[in-house]
Amino acid sequence: MTVRLPSIVQTIRAYARAATLAQHQAAPLGDPAAPPGLADLAEQADGYARSWSAQETARLFTIGPRPAHADRPALVYIVEAARALCARNRGGAVRLLRLALAELEASPAPREVAP
């Protein structure tokens, strides 16, 4: 029986919820630009949690290739929201995430890539 740390369980649950909600799967470990494989969600969430933990320990997160030009402002707000969370500034993070959402809703959508 494998014992998982609470932080790993928390990350697995968050990934599974995000993947289901956004119909998105993370790229294979080590290559954020590669298309996702067909691993089942539980297996993929476990791998994601392990990768997250390693990146968290290294204090270096890889997010992937640059976004479409129209989405760059939203990405800036999202990254800054993450930085605000790391600085324990939840209010700032919420404001930045709302700004990112407003930007995404107001700008023309680039061609989406199917999950």
pLDDT at 24: 64
Can you give the residue range of the structural domain that contains 99?
69-106
| Domains of the chain: total | 2
Would residue 115 count as lying in a domain? no
3-state secondary structure the chain: CCCCCHHHHHHHHHHHHHHHHHCCCCCCCCCCCCCCCCCCHHHHHHHHHHHHHHHHHHCCCCCCCCCCHHHHHHHHHHHHHHHHHHCCCHHHHHHHHHHHHHHHHHCCCCCCCCC
Same domain, 42 and 73: no
Mean pLDDT (the chain, rounded): 80
- Among 25-34, 61-70, 71-80, top mean pLDDT goes to 71-80
Would residue 17 count as lying in a domain? yes
pLDDT at 41: 82
pLDDT at 38: 41
Same domain, 73 and 100: yes
Same domain, 41 and 74: no
Would residue 63 count as lying in a domain? no
Would residue 90 count as lying in a domain? yes
Same domain, 13 and 34: yes
